[in-house]
Amino acid sequence: MSKRARPPAPLQAAERAQWTAVPTTFPTARPWRIVAALIPFPEQLAGQRIVDVGAGGSDAVAALLAAGADALAVDPRYRSFPALVRDAQAYFAAQEAAGRLPQAREDSAAAIAAQRDAFRRFSASFLDPRHRHRYHAAVATALPLAAASVDLLYSLDCITQYLDRDYDLLLAAVREALRVLRPGGRLALVPFRDDVFRLGYHQARHVNQERLLAWLDERALAWRLDDLSPTGLTGSARLVVVAP
């Protein structure tokens, strides 16, 4: 797995096109509190190489660095910090005008304020010369990382939510994650088996996720689904895959 060739350029181009289609709807600044509740981080973070794929303006990597982790963020929008700021501000303004975040059951002024605060912390870390090498302008299907170099790679609302609309992109992103993970390292994807599937929405994503599980089984890769409903943050599950 670790010596597998990178995906072809057309596939990377398709992923970039997928990203550009959602700049003002992407939940771009997940606060660390939310990320920590949804991702199975190790108890001891110091020295752990942890990668956030599709990190956007989340302050999670800043928080992980403060805890001593060897943390990295990957997002193609890091090519232009001004454009990322513009898209984040447009997202915040749109949700404030609507009075709630997407799929929220109640007014979300506090949640939007928390995302604004997270984005400010992200910006400070991103612009800090000591941390600049921590933020990589790259796509999930072509990570700028050495093989077998990562302990935990996670993705919130990126590999699943957007890339899983195309099975080839989903599979390429998972294969690339497995390439960079150390043996026994973990891949965590949220959301998985979304609660909206039960309502008949996003059926292409549902089919592609089930195809991915079949692919994992065909290769005898260890995986599990964790129910995230007890967090109160989502009714969806979390897929965790263990690298061979």
Written in H, E and C, the secondary structure of 2-30 is CCCCCCCHHHHHHHHHHHHCCCCCCCCCC
Q: Is 2 within a domain?
A: no
186 by DSSP, 3-state: which? strand
Q: Which of 82, 18, 13, 73 lies closest to 49, judged by CA?
A: 73
Angle at 12 between CA 145 and CA 220, to 5 degrees: 65
Q: Is 53 within a domain?
A: yes
Q: pLDDT at position 197, please?
A: 79
Q: pLDDT at position 221, please?
A: 98
Q: Cβ distance 237 to 228 under 8 Å?
A: yes
Domains in the chain, number: 1
DSSP 135: E
Q: Is 1 within a domain?
A: no
Q: Is 173 within a domain?
A: yes
Q: Is 57 within a domain?
A: yes
Rounded to an integer, what distance in angstroms lies between the CA atom of residue 240 and that of residue 12?
24
CATH number of 26's domain: 3.40.50.150
Q: Is 42 within a domain?
A: yes
Q: Where are the alpha helices (DSSP H) in 31-108?
A: 32-38, 60-66, 81-98
Measured on CA atoms in the order 160, 164, 170, 176, is the torsion positive or negative? negative
- How far the first Cα of the chain sits from its last, in Å, is 8
Q: pLDDT at position 15, please?
A: 62
- Sequence-distant (≥ 6) Cβ neighbours of residue 168 within 8 angstroms: 11, 14
Q: Is 4 within a domain?
A: no
Tens of pLDDT along the chain (244 residues) come to 444 445 566 666 666 665 555 555 455 799 999 999 999 999 999 999 999 999 999 999 999 999 999 999 999 999 999 999 998 888 888 878 877 655 555 557 788 889 999 999 999 999 999 999 999 999 999 999 999 999 999 999 999 988 999 999 999 999 999 999 999 999 999 999 988 777 777 889 999 999 999 999 999 999 999 999 999 888 899 999 999 9
Q: Is 199 within a domain?
A: yes
DSSP 196: G
For the question of whether the overall pTM of this predicted structure is more than 0.75, the answer is yes
The token pair that represents 58 in the structure block: 């989340």
Owning domain of residue 81: 9-242
Rounded to an integer, what distance in angstroms lies between the CA atom of residue 8 and that of residue 103?
35
The token pair that represents 196 in the structure block: 């909206």
